[in-house]
């Protein structure tokens, strides 16, 4: 073998291995830079020696020319559909039916999350991908080989040597929720219409004639079964088949479990349903399959669905309801948010009566009218959204949603910045809604954490003219509070004590509490550790603000503008005069920086301190904290009840410690 040929083979194999570790195992073996460097080297070699380019080379995933049209594909074995179950009772009946036929009493099931995506069939000849097809009507689908080739989770060549000469792998194409949101943000910023949900986005991405478009979409293929097989022997059960598929290079669900009896299957359903919001892809149920292939064969199928499998469906994440009206709320920073008032509807496991309409662009995009039937979606932890107005059901003329011309609270004129979707009230200093918003933010848990001064009390104080800005809080007396409606002497004392107690604080908290636009907790922390001193931040130029981690020109100008207003500088002065102090960051730096250079994530329930306190302690010891586990995480501090972060850390091989370990570490640091 010539030396370029050998190098090409070695590089291809290494890139395949790295790609599998990253995509299938969530456990990278190389940095992005290393991967890119190897891929670049491979491209160089292939450009110099074009006759050595293989169709299965990692470089051959993009660049195909667009098709003129799709061709249809007949599935050798039809792609069956699934019967539905909606309750534990349905599962009991499912088991009884099948157990009776087999002369057994209890069946062994393989349970797997039902991914809410688009089914795809992949055909491998001698281990090489030769064709990809959509499910279509189950008998005939469309050839989408050109698009499937662009997906990193679709192996161009199978791993290992023990595969049949002909192997059809079936599975679901999904888009993880986080990637879906990023994708929609990108669509919006380039003026393209947003996708309704991850499944529609996946379907639309697979249906492209131009594979260069598909290549930009964050599609993931997860295998769930084998179809046509020739010239080879496969394992004897479904669960073993899934392990086999993983071994030859496919991503499969890590949540799959083998159980005995329908009760255990229903318990699995409950567990998955509980984790639903944390699982990174949309799931619309659990598929329960008789695990043994001989039993499957004996059970057979009726019309288009196997008797041996059933989809236990979850409550829908999308429902239809009526738009009753739209309210306009003024946020803390003046942004006007339209909020849809809905006929209450049960969706994603909760009753929803409000949904966000985001902004004026979104209202225009949806072209929604008051009285319309609309599709509401609640998925993950996000605020319910309206994804579509069912205009074909609209009867007669319904009123359009009119965006207000003036602030619904202070009646000031509204403005819209160039390049910004939000329409705002710029009257921040005199708009009651914004003043109240600023007060609520100031006392909130992650800001000054003034327990005992809630929203209701703040509004009362504001409406009575006792408090108009955050510094006024520190002038309040027990007598003033006790004189308010529904306020006893005891709670008045408690509230004043809480206000007093908040005076000893930390600089990052204080900065965050000021409510500067775009300055969240992380930015506040970055500012505090960079500048150490508040005075330095207040007088910093835009350029020096931009030197702080993650502070770009926009955030820098918000900070600069905030502190250039006399009113705000005065406010800070009054707070300091009232006695606000923060532990000197210089002291903090003097703590042993035993965690310097480490990134920690905290999850689960802790006994001795809250997660936020644990995070603050980690940072005081020189460590960094992050909200989610990734390959950059060094340590996961996990208390009881830790969920997806723990399993992610385990799969990535991240060091995991419990609270006892953490307390020992603090003792060593003499904290």
114 binds ligand D41 (CB under 6 A): yes
- 114 part of the active site: yes
81 binds ligand D41 (CB under 6 A): yes
Q: Which of 114, 251, 289, 648 is catalytic?
A: 114
Binder of ligand D41 out of 19, 57, 205, 225 (CB under 6 A): 225
Torsion 590-594-595-596 (CA) sign? positive
Q: What binding mask, one character per residue, do residues 163-192 give for ligand D41 by CB under 6 A, x or -?
A: ---------x--------------------
- If you ran DSSP here, which 8-state letter would residue 501 be given? H
Applying CB under 6 A, which part among 80-88, 179-187, 196-204, 458-466 lies near ligand D41?
80-88
Applying CB under 6 A, which part among 111-119, 371-379, 409-417, 521-529 lies near ligand D41?
111-119
**Closest to 347 (Cα-Cα) out of 382, 320, 329:** 320
140 binds ligand D41 (CB under 6 A): no
Applying CB under 6 A, which part among 112-120, 455-463, 472-480, 603-611 lies near ligand D41?
112-120
Beta-strand runs (E) in 151-249: 166-174, 220-230
Pairwise CA distance, residues 210 & 62, whole Å? 10
What is the distance of C-alpha 221 from the center of its chain?
Answer: 18
287 binds ligand D41 (CB under 6 A): yes
659 binds ligand D41 (CB under 6 A): no
Cβ proximity to ligand D41, 221 vs 562, nearer residue: 221
Burial 314-343 (b: 16+ CB within 10 A, else e): bbebbbebebeebebebebbbbbebbbebe
203 binds ligand D41 (CB under 6 A): no
Pairwise CA distance, residues 585 & 224, whole Å? 53
- Residue 119, H or E segment: strand 118-125
Cβ proximity to ligand D41, 80 vs 316, nearer residue: 80
Cβ proximity to ligand D41, 309 vs 330, nearer residue: 309
Applying CB under 6 A, which part among 23-31, 92-100, 114-122, 208-216 lies near ligand D41?
114-122
User: Three-state SS for 359?
Assistant: coil
Q: How many angstroms separate the Cα of 75 from the Cα of each of 122, 133, 616, 668? A: 11, 9, 58, 65
CB of 114 to ligand D41, least distance (A): 4
Residues 365-404 that bind ligand D41 (CB under 6 A): none
- Angle CA 251–287–118, to nearest 5: 55
CB of 279 to ligand D41, least distance (A): 12
CB of 429 to ligand D41, least distance (A): 54
Tokens 């110099």 correspond to 48
Q: What binding mask, one character per residue, do residues 318-337 give for ligand D41 by CB under 6 A, x or -?
A: --------------------
Applying CB under 6 A, which part among 79-87, 351-359, 466-474, 651-659 lies near ligand D41?
79-87
Cβ proximity to ligand D41, 164 vs 285, nearer residue: 285
Strand order in the sheet with 635-638: 624-625, 599-603, 635-638, 655-657
**Closest to 215 (Cα-Cα) out of 59, 46, 54:** 59
CB of 282 to ligand D41, least distance (A): 10
224 binds ligand D41 (CB under 6 A): yes
Cβ proximity to ligand D41, 119 vs 376, nearer residue: 119
Cβ proximity to ligand D41, 136 vs 331, nearer residue: 136
**Closest to 419 (Cα-Cα) out of 486, 481, 352, 361:** 361
Applying CB under 6 A, which part among 18-26, 47-55, 110-118, 415-423 lies near ligand D41?
110-118
Phi, psi of 363 (to 5 degrees): -65, -40
Cβ proximity to ligand D41, 95 vs 172, nearer residue: 172
Cβ proximity to ligand D41, 301 vs 403, nearer residue: 301
Q: Are 318 and 327 in contact (CB under 8 A)?
A: no
User: Three-state SS for 317?
Assistant: coil
Cβ proximity to ligand D41, 81 vs 257, nearer residue: 81
User: Three-state SS for 453?
Assistant: coil
Pairwise CA distance, residues 182 & 469, whole Å? 37
User: Three-state SS for 484?
Assistant: coil
306 binds ligand D41 (CB under 6 A): yes
95 binds ligand D41 (CB under 6 A): no
CB of 80 to ligand D41, least distance (A): 4
Cβ proximity to ligand D41, 61 vs 289, nearer residue: 289
Beta bridge partners of 425: 414
Q: How many angstroms separate the Cα of 248 from the Cα of each of 168, 229, 245, 485, 506? A: 13, 15, 5, 70, 53
Applying CB under 6 A, which part among 107-115, 350-358, 525-533, 637-645 lies near ligand D41?
107-115
288 binds ligand D41 (CB under 6 A): no
Q: Are 468 and 462 in contact (CB under 8 A)?
A: yes
Binder of ligand D41 out of 30, 53, 67, 80 (CB under 6 A): 80
422 binds ligand D41 (CB under 6 A): no
Q: How many angstroms separate the Cα of 307 from the Cα of each of 77, 96, 555? A: 16, 12, 59
Residues 48-77 that bind ligand D41 (CB under 6 A): none
**Closest to 546 (Cα-Cα) out of 535, 558, 564, 534:** 558
Phi, psi of 537 (to 5 degrees): -70, -40
User: Three-state SS for 285?
Assistant: strand
**Closest to 256 (Cα-Cα) out of 244, 271, 239, 240:** 239
115 binds ligand D41 (CB under 6 A): yes
Binder of ligand D41 out of 119, 223, 355, 438 (CB under 6 A): 119
CB of 314 to ligand D41, least distance (A): 12
CB of 152 to ligand D41, least distance (A): 20
Which active-site residues does the annotation give?
Answer: 114
Query: Which residues in this chain contact ligand D41 in the complex, by CB under 6 A?
Result: 80-82, 112, 114-115, 119, 135, 172, 224-225, 287, 289, 306, 309
């Amino acid at each position: 073998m010539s030396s370029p040929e050998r190098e090409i083979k070695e590089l291809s194999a290494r890139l395949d291995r790295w790609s599998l570790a990253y995509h299938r195992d969530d456990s990278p073996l190389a940095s992005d830079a290393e991967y890119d460097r190897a891929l670049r080297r491979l491209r160089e070699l292939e450009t110099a020696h074009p006759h050595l380019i293989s169709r299965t080379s990692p470089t051959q995933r993009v660049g195909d020319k667009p098709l003129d049209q799709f061709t249809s594909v007949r599935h050798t074995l039809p792609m069956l559909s699934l019967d539905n179950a909606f309750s534990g009772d349905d599962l009991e009946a499912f088991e009884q039916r099948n157990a009776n036929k087999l002369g057994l009493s209890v069946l062994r099931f393989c349970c797997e999350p039902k991914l809410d995506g688009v089914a795809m069939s992949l055909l491998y000849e001698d281990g090489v991908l030769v064709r990809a097809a959509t499910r279509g009507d189950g008998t005939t689908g469309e050839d989408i080989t050109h698009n499937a080739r662009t997906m990193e989770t679709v192996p161009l060549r199978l791993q290992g040597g023990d595969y049949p000469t002909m192997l059809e792998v079936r599975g679901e194409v999904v888009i993880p929720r986080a990637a879906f949101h990023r994708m929609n943000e990108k669509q919006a910023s380039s003026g393209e219409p947003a996708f309704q949900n991850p499944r529609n986005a996946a379907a639309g991405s697979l249906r492209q004639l131009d594979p260069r478009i598909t290549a930009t979409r964050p599609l993931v293929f997860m295998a769930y079964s084998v179809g046509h097989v020739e010239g080879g022997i496969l394992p004897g059960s479904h669960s073993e088949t899934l392990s086999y598929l993983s071994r030859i290079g496919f991503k499969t669900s890590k949540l799959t479990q083998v159980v005995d009896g329908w009760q255990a299957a229903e318990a699995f359903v409950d567990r998955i349903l509980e984790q639903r919001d944390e699982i990174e892809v949309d799931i619309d149920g659990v598929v329960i399959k008789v695990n043994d292939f001989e039993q499957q064969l004996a059970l057979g199928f009726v019309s288009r669905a196997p008797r041996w499998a059933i989809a236990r469906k979850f409550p829908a994440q999308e429902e239809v309801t009526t738009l009753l009206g739209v309210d306009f709320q003024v946020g803390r920073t003046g942004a006007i948010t339209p909020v849809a008032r809905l006929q209450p509807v049960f969706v994603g496991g909760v009753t929803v009566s409000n949904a966000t309409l985001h902004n004026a662009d979104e209202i225009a995009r949806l072209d929604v009218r008051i009285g319309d039937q609309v599709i509401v979606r609640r998925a993950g932890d996000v605020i319910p959204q309206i994804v579509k107005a069912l205009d074909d059901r609209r009867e007669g003329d319904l009123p359009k949603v009119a965006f207000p011309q003036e602030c619904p609270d202070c009646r000031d004129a509204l403005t819209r910045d160039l390049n910004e979707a939000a329409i705002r009230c710029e009257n921040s200093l005199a708009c009651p809604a914004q003043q109240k918003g600023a007060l609520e933010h100031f006392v909130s848990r992650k800001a000054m954490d003034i327990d005992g001064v809630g929203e209701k009390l703040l509004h009362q104080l504001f409406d009575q003219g006792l408090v108009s800005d955050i510094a006024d809080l520190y002038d309040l007396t027990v007598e003033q509070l006790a004189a308010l409606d529904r306020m006893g002497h005891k709670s008045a004392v408690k509230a004043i004590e809480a206000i007093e107690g908040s005076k000893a604080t930390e600089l990052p908290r204080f900065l965050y509490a000021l409510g500067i636009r775009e300055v969240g907790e992380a930015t506040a922390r970055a500012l505090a550790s960079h500048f150490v001193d508040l005075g330095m931040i207040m007088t910093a130029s835009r350029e020096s603000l931009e030197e702080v981690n993650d502070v770009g020109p926009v955030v820098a100008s918000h900070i600069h503008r905030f502190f250039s207003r006399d009113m705000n500088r005065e406010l800070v002065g009054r707070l300091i005069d009232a006695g606000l102090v923060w532990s000197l960051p210089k002291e903090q730096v003097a703590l042993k920086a035993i965690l310097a250079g480490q990134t920690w994530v905290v999850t689960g329930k802790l006994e001795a301190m809250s997660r936020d306190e644990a995070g603050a302690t980690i940072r005081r010891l020189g460590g960094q904290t992050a909200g989610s586990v990734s390959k950059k995480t060094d340590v996961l501090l996990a208390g009881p009840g830790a969920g997806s972060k723990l399993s992610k850390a385990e799969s990535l091989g991240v060091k995991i410690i419990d609270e006892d370990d953490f307390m020992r570490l603090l003792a060593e640091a003499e904290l």
